[in-house]
Amino acid sequence: MVVYRMPEHRFVLTVMAAIGLIALGVCVGGSAERPARGPNQRLHELMIERCEILQSEVKSLELSLQFGSAGLAECRKANVALFKARADLAADITEQIEIYEEMVDLLRTSEQATRQEIDAGRAPQTELRQARLATVEAQIALEQLRMARPQ
């Protein structure tokens, strides 16, 4: 009788081992087909890298501006790009609105500084139009975000 049960026992063990191997193969095969991180994670990492690069660029341009080797327009453009990158990383629309409000404030300050540069004869009049345009575009984007915010 013991001899008779041995094949059954081996059969059960073989089936259990096969199921285990199949399950292991599915797990390993499934993870080999997909990357360890999802596409959203990769996108997020790239967006963070962009933000870090822009932060470095803004710092560098601000130093250059202090020493007179960069202009207000360059700093303004780099700051706008940084604010937009930060807004892209924002968790929700409320945070995006806060970032755009900061950007509008910075652009208004930049616009005033540009006026002072023009009044002092250190910048052409076209700089003021570009500064004003950047401010208006940021205000438009801010208003669009406010309209899109759920009530």
DSSP the chain: -HHHHHHHHHHHHHHHHHHHHHHHHHHHHHHHHS-SS-HHHHHHHHHHHHHHHHHHHHHHHHHHHHTTSS-HHHHHHHHHHHHHHHHHH-SSHHHHHHHHHHHHHHHHHHHHHHHHHHHTTSS-HHHHHHHHHHHHHHHHHHHHHHHHS--
Which of the four pLDDT bands, split at 50, 70 and 90, describes residue 136? Answer: very high
Global confidence as pTM: 0.72
- What residues contact 50, with CB distance under 8 A and at least 6 apart? 85
Q: Which residue has the higher pLDDT, 22 or 110?
A: 110
* Lowest-pLDDT range of 4-13, 86-95, 108-117, 137-146: 4-13
Which of the four pLDDT bands, split at 50, 70 and 90, describes residue 150? Answer: confident
